[in-house]
Amino acid sequence: MKKGIRILFVLCCILIGLYPSSYFILHREFGLLSTKDPKLLLDLAWNISFYFHIILGGIALLTGWIQFSEKIRISKIKLHRFCGRVYVISALLSGLAGIYIGFFATGGIIASLGFISLGVLWILFTFIGFSHIRQGLMDTHKKYMYYSFACCFAAVTLRIWLPLLTLSFGDFIVAYKIVSWLCWVPNLVISHFLIRNNDLRNSTIRKSIHL
């Protein structure tokens, strides 16, 4: 069961990580962009931010999942560190761009607040996690990077929830307002319980060693 979940997790990261390439293959005004004001689609600052966000966000997904492989962390430490640096840079820049485009989110203030909050937290968790590994605080680093990737994984959960909510409500705008929060809040809650379970397991292992 756990192996199946891990495989699904990796596949989702890879597929959605590669998704931004579709904007360079297909006519770009599909999906969410079809809901945008034509004037906004011609705005240079918005376009730069949008492409920064989706491209670097895709790179963060493609490199981030590797960091959760204990086998790679132990046997290929150089790869782990390289992917970690790429992830941190991509996450910080994508998060910053995400905050900017969040002000223009479809659905108005509710959606804007949801996506801006996501961008702020993604940057915050990533920066704190990176700062702790620089100080050699491995356990704290791992906890914050769990939260960081939970924010990054919102790109996946958004694409799961959005069609389901649109079908349920029959209204894309209502669905998008909800998903601007639903795509990341549950991710953080799940991460919290994963971290707590890891702490309990590690505590049990340490106690058994001392017995």
> To the nearest whole percent, how much of the chain has pLDDT over 90?
67
> To the nearest whole percent, how much of the chain has pLDDT over 70?
92
pLDDT for position 103: 96
Non-local CB neighbours of 63 within 8 Å, separated by 6+ positions: 83, 84, 86, 87, 90
> How many domains does the structure of the chain reveal?
1
pLDDT for position 161: 96
Distance CA 134, CA 13 (A): 26
Structural domain of 151: 2-210
Distance CA 163, CA 43 (A): 28
Report pLDDT digits (tens) over 162-171.
Answer: 999 999 999 9
Among 77-81, 172-176, 178-182, the minimum mean pLDDT is found in 77-81
pLDDT band at 37 (very low <50, low <70, confident <90, very high): confident
pLDDT for position 58: 96
Q: Please give the sequence-ordered ranges of beta strands (E in DSSP) within the chain, or none if there are none.
A: none
Distance CA 29, CA 22 (A): 11
* Average model confidence (pLDDT) across the chain: 90
Give the dihedral sign, CA 54/39/102/111: negative
Residue 204 has pLDDT above 70, yes or no: no
Distance CA 10, CA 2 (A): 12
Span 115-123, average pLDDT:
98
Where b means 16+ CB within 10 Å and e means fewer, 54-78 reads bbbbbbbbbbbbbbbbeeebeeeee
Span 72-101, average pLDDT:
92
Measured in degrees and rounded to the nearest 5, phi and psi for residue 16 equal: -75, -30
> Which residue has better confidence, 204 or 150?
150
Assigned token pair, 35? 């809901």
Assigned token pair, 198? 């890891």
